[in-house]
Amino acid sequence: MSTDDRTEVLLRRAYDDLAARPEDATLGGTAFVEVNRRIERSRRRRRGTVVGVALASAAGVAAVAGTAALGVWGEDTGRDGAGQVAGSGEPDVLTVSAPGVASRSVGGLTASCEDLAIGGQTVTVIRADTVASDGTIVRFQAEVDKLTPGRALAFPLDDLGAGAVDTPRYLELLVVLPRDGAAPLEASSTGEDPRGSITVGEARCGAEPALRLALDLSVQTDPAGTRVQVTGPLTAVS
């Protein structure tokens, strides 16, 4: 047996030893119970939100404001982030696009919160993300306390100047846009020269995390520098 073969055999045994545990075979049921509970909770929450919007519309309550709100903060379309090609006339959908690449509409984002113990302080970060079946990824995260309703964050964030003390920490919008026959475009607001704005509608942690933003942002890949546009409402629930 050659040296290469011995290395291969040795590493495969090591990985087999690490990865394969007899008790793992019994955990499928537990995993399903936990995952299904989260899915059902998520579905109930979505149904409740949709019913609430429908009732408000039927009652004619704040019709003008309601229409505006739906236009900017449109609830999940139910397409659940499957990465469809965006059509025209769908202003209530978050759209990711780049030159020469089919644009994608993204929905079904999941909101979650996490307390980070950093330097003796606890910082609560809210996160919204989705990974579509075609590989499109949208992820936003930021310190939740700084995302007050109505606040507009202009990019680059350094432009906040004197207000920089209020700049949300850990703020990042990450997008991955798949391409045919080429590596996906990956761009982040923490990369070079992000432009545009994010306006906060709602950012809430606690029992039912929720995040609603209006995005009009252009972020750049590294190192190619291709600009990726992210526009429309970002709506995420737990």
Partner 1 sequence: MDGNRCGDDDFADFVAAQTPALLGLARALTGNDHDAWDLVQEALFRVGKRWSRASMHNPAGYVRTVLVRLNVDRFRRLRRELTTAELPDQAATSVQREGELGAWLTGVLPGLSPRQRTVLALRFVADLDTAEIARELGCSEGSVRSHLSRGLARLREQLPAGHTTEKEPSR
Task: Find where tokens 């995390």 sit.
Answer: 209
Distances (CA, A) of 210 to 97, 163, 193, 236: 25, 25, 28, 6
Total interface residues for partner 1 by CB under 8 A: 59
The distance of closest approach from Cβ of residue 28 to partner 1 in the complex, given in angstroms and rounded to an integer, is: 3
Q: Which stretch binds partner 1 (CB under 8 A): 50-58, 59-67, 144-152, 169-177?
A: 169-177
Q: At 30, is the secondary structure helix, strand, or coil?
A: helix
Site for partner 1 in 178-197 (CB under 8 A): 178, 183-184, 186, 190
Residue 196, number of CB atoms within 10 A of its CB: 18
Q: Judged by CB under 8 A, does residue 47 bind partner 1?
A: no
Are 218 and 228 spatial neighbours (Cβ–Cβ below 8 Å)?
A: yes
Q: Are strands 109-118 and 227-237 parallel, antiparallel or unpaired?
A: parallel
The distance of closest approach from Cβ of residue 225 to partner 1 in the complex, given in angstroms and rounded to an integer, is: 18
Q: Judged by CB under 8 A, does residue 27 bind partner 1?
A: yes
Q: At 13, is the secondary structure helix, strand, or coil?
A: helix
Residues that bind partner 1 (CB under 8 A): 3-8, 10-15, 17-21, 24-25, 27-29, 31-32, 34-36, 38-39, 42, 78-82, 108, 110, 116-120, 129-131, 133, 135, 137, 139, 141, 170, 172, 174, 176, 178, 183-184, 186, 190
